Amino acid sequence: MSKGNLTRRGVLKTGAVAGAGLALPTYLSAASHEGFTNAPTGSTVTLGFNVPQSGPYADEGADELRAYELAVEHLNGEGDGGMLNTFSSKALQGNGILGKKVEYVTGDTQTKSDAARASAKSMIEKDGAVMITGGSSSGVAVAVQALCQEAGVIFMAGLTHSNDTTGKDKRANGFRHFFNSYMSGAALAPVLAANYGTDRKAYHLTADYNWGYTTEEAIRSSTEAMGWETIAAVKTPLTQTDFSSYIAPVLQSGADTLVLNHYGGNMVNSLTNAVQFGLRDKQVNGKDFQIIVPLYSRLMAKGAGANVKGIFGSTNWHWSLQDEGSKAFVQSFGTKYGFPPSQAAHTCYVQALLYADAVERAGSFAPCAVVEALEGFEFDGMGNGKTLYRADDHQCFKDVLVVKGKENPSSEFDLLEIVEVTPVEQVTYAPDHPQFAGGALGSCNNGA
């Protein structure tokens, strides 16, 4: 049956051929070296927009993509310029980035770490993207951020609220404009104390993943610091759609406040369930029962409908803000798409502009130059007032909005009202704060 035998010579030959095959790539690898990964050589530069186009956060992803397309238009000098006119840095000329026309590729993260990394990898390896941005989940943000660090490209995080993104999983090549769980807690606590008093008993329902944990921790520690008591904290699966079985025990527990550490579809369902169970009409311990949603977005408020009325939460940005930057952005977004942008769209738009501006100021696309330009960068006119990109953890520090579901919405977009703009000082923390401990930035990576 066998045609040939394994001889010593045969083995040696095969080994030599295999060895040569393995060595060939390294031999050839001197072919191209511009000093960093995907250095743009022609008249264009490619950015990678990696957003969820399917899965639970597809709505956010679609809005992010709209914002990126708008940002590309503005960077290339088309449209009305949007926030370029209000941005405090005037380095961008509307002629692309460093004179190169901005092009982009898109990918679908599916809100799965693996899929997001595969998509980002193909953008880097196949399409030559020099920067990756987007995403609507902390798990994805952390995974893609680590990938970009390895590959030597810049990652400008989209919507990611977990402390870990700029805490224990921070990376030198990654930057986050969005606020985080700690800031939500610090901003919400005083408002809650003023409205609901300082002796409440809270019951937490927490989405069972990274973001849920850090949000629960942040809200717990800031509410407990002002005198609240935490009765219980129950984790709910991310894929849960019916929360009745989790809501029922809340009333028996003696708690008078329910904190829903849920986002997106989770929050819409759990809040709806809670309201259907009549929690908000109940009286416990002589107080009206209250519900709190730490992270709010307009898209969620829309999903939950009338149930959000009067419920407190925090948000990164809201289209009804009246500063020049927000007005300019809402106007150009509204003109193009016919409705106001969400906070996800805002943060992604700003991230794209901030990256372009940093490249322009650094005079180079090299990641290390960009990192240097962004670290400690202070800017204004991007909708959140004065903002600082802190060098220690690449987190933006800016005012945080405390919002409340509007009692009498005037349109389908006018669902949240701003209760308070929490000043940046109140939400600033030390880089080595316990909720952020345990990670290291490392050093910037230019790749090869």
Partner 1 sequence: MFGLDKKDASLLLIVAALVAFAPFLLNPFPEGSAMAQFNAGYPDLMQRFVIFGIFAIGFNILFGLTGYLSFGHAAFLGVGSYAAVWMFKLLSMNVLPAIILAVITSGIFALVIGYVSLRRSGIYFSILTLAFAQMSFALAYSVLTPITGGETGLQLALDDPRIFGSATTAEGNIPVPGLFGLEMRDSSELVLGNWVFTFNVGYYFAAIVMLLSFYLAIRIFRSPFGMMLRAVKSNQQRLNYTGLNPRPYTLAAFVISGMYAGLAGGLMASMDPLAGAERMFWTASGEVVLMTILGGVGTLIGPVLGAGMIKYMENIISKINSDILHGWFAFLPDGLEDLVVTMIYPFIGKGWHLTLGIVFMLVVIFLPGGLVEGGQRVAKLFGRKKTDEPKSAKTEPAE
Where do contacts with partner 1 occur on this chain (CB under 8 A)? Answer: 1-4, 6, 18, 21-22, 24-32, 53-54, 105-108, 112-115, 117-119, 121-122, 125-126, 138-139, 142-143, 146-147, 149-151, 164, 168-169, 172, 208-210, 235, 237-238, 438-440, 442-443, 445
Please state whether 61 falls in left (phi above 0), alpha (psi between -120 and 50) or beta.
alpha
**Residue 48 and residue 154 in contact, taking contact as beta carbons nearer than 8 Å:** no
Closest CB 22 distance from partner 1, rounded Å: 6
- Which of 18, 225 has the CB closer to partner 1? 18
Q: DSSP for 159-222?
A: S---GGGGTTT--TTEEE-S--HHHHHHHHHHHHHHHH-S--EEEEEEESSHHHHHHHHHHHHH
- Report, in Å, the least distance between residue 162 CB and partner 1: 9
Smallest separation (angstroms) from partner 1 to the CB of 28: 4
Whether the Cβ atoms of residue 287 and residue 197 lie closer than 8 Å to each other: yes
Of 18 and 194, which CB lies nearer to partner 1 in the complex structure? 18
Q: d(Cα 276, Cα 143) in Å, to the nearest integer?
A: 37
CB 130 within 8 A of CB 49: no
Nearest to 384 by CA among 332, 322, 443: 322
CB of 206 to partner 1, least distance (A): 11
Beta carbon nearer to partner 1, 8 or 322: 8
Close Cβ partners of 220 (under 8 Å, ≥ 6 residues apart): 185, 202, 204, 230, 233
Distance CA 302, CA 192 (A): 23
Please report the DSSP string for 60-119 in residue order. Answer: HHHHHHHHHHHHHHHHTT-TT-GGGGT-S-----SSSBTTBEEEEEEEE-TT-HHHHHHH
Based on CB atoms, which residue is closest to partner 1, 113 or 272? 113
Distance separating alpha carbons of residues 362 and 91, to the nearest angstrom: 10
Q: Minimum distance between the CB of residue 266 and partner 1, rounded to whole angstroms?
A: 13
Which residue number, 5 or 411, has a Cβ lying nearer to partner 1?
Answer: 5
Residue with tokens 């680590």: 146
- Which lies closer to partner 1 via its Cβ, residue 124 or residue 301? 124
- Tell the smallest beta-carbon distance from residue 100 to partner 1 (Å): 16
Shortest Å, Cβ 340 to partner 1: 23
Cβ proximity to partner 1, 4 vs 338, nearer residue: 4
